[in-house]
Amino acid sequence: MWLSEVQKIGIGVTSLGLLFMILGVIMLFDGPLLSLGNILSVSGVFMIVGPAKSANFFLRKERMVGTLSFVGGFLLTILRFPIIGFFLECLGFFNLFRVFYPIIITFLRSLPYIGPFIDRLTSYQQSPV
């Protein structure tokens, strides 16, 4: 898969945003670091996927609760309420991407060392047939 130059820059911007968000959490929810991480992460995702597909993903009717809580947390973080904003963003993130969780768990179950561990956590039993 070939990436365009904008997508390559978007991957770098998203990675830098995630780094700033991790640093913001490590430094006890430092507001400016979390805000910078949010702005970089969201703009990087828009650069990777493209504005039309991003808008289509975030503005679907079934994902509106997740979008509103993510944007609300984003705004609270920028308006200097970083702890409440961060947790509201996490809630929005989980609501937005909950459709993909079964796919992620199925993929992780197929990995050699992680699969049996996840099977024990979820008490998954494979059918003998």
What pLDDT score does 128 carry? 67
What pLDDT score does 126 carry? 66
Judge residue 41's burial from the number of C-beta atoms within 10 Å of its C-beta, 0-12 exposed, 13-18 middle, 19 or more buried: buried
- Mean confidence (pLDDT) of the chain: 90
Tokens of 19: 């780094």
Average pLDDT over residues 101-109: 87
Res. 116 pLDDT band, cuts 50 70 90: confident
Domain map (residue ranges) of the chain:
5-96, 101-129
- Separation between Cα atoms, residue 93 and residue 83, nearest integer Å: 15
pLDDT tens digits for range 40-49: 999 999 999 9
